[in-house]
Amino acid sequence: MKNPRHAIASVALAATLALGGCAAPAGQSGQASNQQSSSTQQEASLASWNDDSPTIKLVKDYVKNVTDEKSADFIPKEDRVVTIDWDGTLYGELDPIYLDWAMYVHRVLWDSTYTPTPEQVEVARQVEEVERTRKFPSGLEAQHAKCLAEVFGGMSVSDFKAYVAEFAETDAPKFKNLKRKDAYFKPMVELVKYLEANDFDCYIVSGTDRNVLQVLLKDYFPEIKPDHIKGSVSTVVASGQGDKDGLDYTWNKTDVPTLGGQLVIKDVKANKPTIIATEIGKQPVISLGNSSGDSSMANYVVNNNKYKSLALMLMCDDTTRDWGELDKAQSMKESCEKNGWHAVSERDEWKTIFGDGVSLDEGWTWSSEQAGPNRSQSENPAAASMEQAA
């Protein structure tokens, strides 16, 4: 199988990304489009869900109830806030690892324009071990987030977004006929659009970097503006600022926003409610998640809420159309029962996952060429020095 990490030779990347999107066809009348969607929105937008889906029944009943002004559970439009995880909830994360983690490995081990530090190389190797085993060592999440910010430090925000766009054009490992940019769960995309059509205000709240999300969301969810994307945050500085503090520097006409190389906050676990409370300023009434990293957000939504609320948790339990993990799915189901969340089964409730023509690559095997666990010493001085120290 072609190694997707070889696809980027340098940071001189294409500045735009032609994603397959959900926008209306060119030349279509906006008025005609709105009239059409108003009459068929509900049926069309949920077409990828099974007709007997418990989740869709629950959501439809909930939406009908809380949008009815005569209902005791009515929620005013301005308070219909929905917070949505991205990786693993809207977008597949088993390909074979989170996109920003895979991009980090590419940057450190395969990008010849970048010379990593020994620590960054070691973290990349640990990430690849996670890819092979699906076992996450304690502390790696925080260490990776720190190093991810470092390896792109000094790159302009626009160049970084172009880098993300180019990486997203590569093939999604372990699947046939799927690009990374298109690895969205069709039913979940439809569910979000259904909520939006019923005047729910949708925010993305994810552990993935905000700049990455802005690139990958813009065509599938053009209606979700950048200020509604709440991902992890790294510092941004003026390109000419150097080591000066922002209070001691004046932005000038040649400056452009540039990544500062330091992590500010990783938007997972208890940090999610913190960011929601400070940046959105309202307690959501619906949350969509899929993992323990979303548990705090789900609990924040369903507890001590003045409105009737709903927390949905997606279980990756399909081993035929996706690389399901049944033990984790069972654990999530138990957590849902314990905490008052609703478990969503991709195996039992979805007609399709990624769309027609996409299938598992059953012949996919891990190899050193695909994984790139070591670059040669001539290519990677940091790796060479690390080997000598060992």
Could you please report the per-residue DSSP string of 7-31?
Answer: G--SS---S-------PPPTT--HH
Q: Which two tokens stand for residue 15?
A: 């500045």
The pLDDT score that the predictor gives to residue 282 is: 98
Average pLDDT over residues 243-262: 97
Provide mean pLDDT across the span 310-332. 96
Q: Higher confidence at residue 386 or residue 175? A: 175
In the predicted structure, residue 320 carries a pLDDT above the cut 90:
yes
Asked whether the beta carbons of 289 and 89 are under 8 A apart, the reply is: yes
Determine the average pLDDT of the residues in 166-172: 95
Q: Which range among 17-26, 45-54, 139-148, 214-223 shows the weakest confidence by mean pLDDT?
A: 17-26
pLDDT digits (tens, 9 = 90+) for 354-363: 999 999 998 8
pLDDT value for 181: 96
Mean pLDDT value across residues 31-50: 55
Return the residue matching tokens 């108003």.
Answer: 38
Terminal CA-to-CA distance of the chain, rounded, Å? Answer: 32
Average pLDDT over residues 173-180: 94
- Please state, in angstroms and rounded to a whole number, the distance separating the CA atoms of residues 160 and 149: 11
| Per-residue CA distances from 144 to 105, 222, 367 (Å) | 10, 29, 23
Q: What is the pLDDT of residue 363?
A: 85
- The per-residue pLDDT for 367 is 66
10 Å Cβ neighbour count for 347?
A: 17
Q: What does the pLDDT average to over 37-43?
A: 38
Residue 139 has a pLDDT of 93
For residue 12, pLDDT beyond 70:
no
pLDDT greater than 60 at residue 16: no
Tokens at residue 142, please? 């925080």
Q: Is 278 left (phi over 0), alpha (psi -120 to 50) or beta?
A: alpha
Mutual angle of helices 186-197 and 30-45, in 10-degree steps: 120
Asked if residue 275 has pLDDT above 90, the reply is yes
Distance CA 15, CA 158 (A): 8
**42-46, 67-71, 194-198, 321-325: which range is least confident on average?**
42-46
User: Exposed, middle or buried by CB within 10 Å (0-12, 13-18, 19+), for 163?
Assistant: buried
User: What proportion of the chain, given as a percentage, has pLDDT over 90?
Assistant: 77
Coil, strand or helix at 192: helix
Alpha helices in 270-325 (DSSP H): 271-275, 295-302
Tell me the pLDDT band of 65, cut-offs 50, 70 and 90.
Answer: very high
Q: Report which residue type is found at 135.
A: K
Contact present, 151 and 107 (Cβ < 8 Å) = yes
Q: How far apart are CA 176 and CA 158, in angstroms?
A: 31
Query: pTM value?
Result: 0.85
Q: Count of CB atoms within 10 A of residue 136's CB?
A: 13
Residue 28 has pLDDT above 50, yes or no: no
Under the banding of pLDDT at 50, 70 and 90, the label for residue 164 is: very high
Q: Between residues 5 and 165, which one has the greater pLDDT?
A: 165
Give the number of other CB atoms < 10 A from CB of residue 212: 26
What does DSSP say about strands 310-315 and 342-345: parallel, antiparallel, or unpaired?
parallel
Question: Average pLDDT of the chain?
Answer: 86
Cβ pair 231, 208 in contact under 8 A:
yes
Burial class from Cβ neighbours inside 10 Å (0-12, 13-18, 19+) for residue 292 reads: middle
User: What is the dihedral sign for C-alpha 259, 158, 267, 226?
Assistant: positive
Tell me which residue of 164, 121, 170 sits closest to 129, measured CA to CA.
121
Lowest-confidence segment of 132-136, 174-178, 383-387 by average pLDDT: 383-387
Per-residue pLDDT averaged across 163-179, rounded? 95
CA distance 237 to 256: 8
Q: Is the model's pLDDT at 272 over the cut of 50?
A: yes
Confidence at residue 378, expressed as pLDDT on a 0 to 100 scale:
36
CB 176, CB 359: distance < 8 Å:
yes
The answer to which of 94-108, 254-268, 269-283, 304-318 has the lowest mean pLDDT is: 94-108
Where do the H-state alpha helices sit in the chain?
Answer: 30-45, 54-66, 99-105, 118-133, 140-151, 157-168, 186-197, 210-217, 271-275, 295-302, 326-339, 346-349, 368-371, 381-389
The average pLDDT across 25-44 equals: 37
| CA gap 98, 88 in Å, rounded | 8
Give the mean pLDDT of 206-211: 98
